[in-house]
Amino acid sequence: MRLRKTPAAIAALGAAALAIAGCSSGGSSTTGSSSSSAAPAQLTVWRMGSSTPAQVTWMNSVISQFHKSDPAYAKTKVKVVFVPWTNRTQDWTNALSSGKNAPDITELGNTDTPTEASLGMLANITTNVNSWTNKSNVVSGMLANDTQSGTIYAVPWFGGVRGIWYRTDQFKAAGITSTPTTWADLVADAKKLMAKNPGTYGLGAPTYDTPAVASFIWGAGGQIATQQGGKWVAQLTSPQSEAGIKFYVDLFRTDKVSPSKYIGQTELGNVGATSGGANEDFALGKLDMYIDGPWASGTFPANAVGKSSWASFPIPSENGPNPAPVFSGGSDLAVWSGSKFKTAAWKLVQVMDSVPNSTSFANSQGFFPPYTSQLNGGTYSSSQLLSGFAKAATNSQIAPLNAKNWATADATDLVIPTMMKQLMNGADFTSTVTAANTKLQNVLNNGSQG
């Protein structure tokens, strides 16, 4: 790898130099698409989330770099549209089915990429990525998630993992000397914290939080689904998986360290609501521990308390001492299949996803860049808040996240969220898990439950 890396980098640098020298008008465009290589008057970028000042500043700096990167694009206007996360699939669908108001570049959640690629939404950028300077530096599992049968549809932009947020001051007051590494310790600590801080809950367990549930299934040695001979086989009914599911359900039902209002909620509250979730309760001191990524601080209200004591530890496995595997989340960047300016769009993607730009963006939002060179740098492991997450990130799992129909199973059909909700509401354990298992397998293989 090392030997091959340098020539590849030189070749890519050469290509970049040629591009800077103004060769963009020639017919020898490196993109495999039939789109025009002429400089467009405008490129539209769809970003996810809300346009906070930090996001706007970062985006403006990227746009000015893009203008300088190539004289041909100096006058290209870049229009940035912020799409709320909950509206994203609807907006993509509308743009795709109508062919109107579509972007040239879109950000996607990494779980969206396999599904949207199979629907024909994303351009094939295999040749571009293969000649991309940063390709060998990208965490390989993340790029694999964007690849289907050898065709690359997106590039990783930033990533993140979930861990457990806690407050060092509360741990100290409750006499907890080290962070828990087994489930028994976790529940015991949650109860200690509740006893020390009356009126609070110990550990939030929202039902619509599959990444958290997944870590408990994996932490007991179970699997959600595995691929066998090209088919997905759901594994929720294995004894290990059931142990993980049962532990999470019991956080509410028997241990009572999580309130009833989290049933049906994501970690951010009811779907569509902007407040009242576990994130807000933790920030306001009403919840002692909660599961989320380092990016969560961006969702905390302004009157958050205990800021200087915020810290994290990885989600424990059933019997310790190593942490449970985590779902690796994050965002990708992709070129829209219907874009008329795929060459320019890929150019802008490269600027957005350059190592310094990706790193500065990830840092400002509480994520990690997708580059191994940055992750191994050690800046993250020395931070009180980020060290736990950085430790968790070393043990991340992709499957069944890379299944083509995972987004359908999880975000549309809500197989695991509905199962968790029914169980917390008192449904029969075995029959509920069995039904969810059948449904999950159908959706993963057929794209629908029918």
Q: Which stretch binds other proteins (CB under 8 A): 46-54, 189-197, 267-275, 315-323?
A: 267-275
Please, which of residues 396-415 interact with other proteins by CB under 8 A? 407-408, 411-414
Whether the Cβ atoms of residue 44 and residue 81 lie closer than 8 Å to each other: yes
d(CA 433, CA 413): 15
Contact track, other proteins, 118-137, x by CB under 8 A: xxxx----------------
Closest to 339 in 3D by CA, of 91, 27, 80, 103: 103
Q: Which stretch binds other proteins (CB under 8 A): 9-17, 272-280, 307-315, 383-391?
A: 272-280
Task: For residue 300, give the amino acid letter.
Answer: F
Considering the complex, state which of residue 260 and residue 322 has its C-beta at the smaller distance from other proteins: 260
Min CB(90)–other proteins separation in Å: 7
Please provide the size of the chain in residues. Answer: 450
Considering the complex, state which of residue 330 and residue 417 has its C-beta at the smaller distance from other proteins: 417
Contacts of 450 (CB under 8 A, 6+ apart): 442
Whether the Cβ atoms of residue 354 and residue 370 lie closer than 8 Å to each other: no
By CB under 8 A, how many residues form the interface with other proteins?
A: 40
Min CB(100)–other proteins separation in Å: 12
The only residue of 259, 285, 306, 320 in contact with other proteins, by rule CB under 8 A = 259
Per the structure block, which two tokens stand in for 255? Answer: 């241990």
Give yes or no for residue 192 binding other proteins (CB under 8 A). Answer: no
Task: State the DSSP H helix or E strand holding residue 106, giving kind and residue range, or none if neither.
Answer: strand 105-109
Q: Which stretch binds other proteins (CB under 8 A): 11-19, 42-50, 184-192, 261-269?
A: 261-269
d(CA 103, CA 338): 9
d(CA 95, CA 105): 12
Give yes or no for residue 447 binding other proteins (CB under 8 A). Answer: yes
Contacts of 378 (CB under 8 A, 6+ apart): none
Give yes or no for residue 425 binding other proteins (CB under 8 A). Answer: yes
* Widest pairwise Cα distance in the chain: 72
Considering the complex, state which of residue 60 and residue 90 has its C-beta at the smaller distance from other proteins: 90
Considering the complex, state which of residue 265 and residue 359 has its C-beta at the smaller distance from other proteins: 265
Give yes or no for residue 89 binding other proteins (CB under 8 A). Answer: yes
Sign of CA dihedral 141, 146, 148, 153: negative
Per CB under 8 A, residues contacting other proteins are 86, 89-90, 93, 96-97, 115, 118-121, 208, 259-261, 263-266, 270-273, 276, 337, 407-408, 411-414, 417-418, 421-422, 425, 447-450
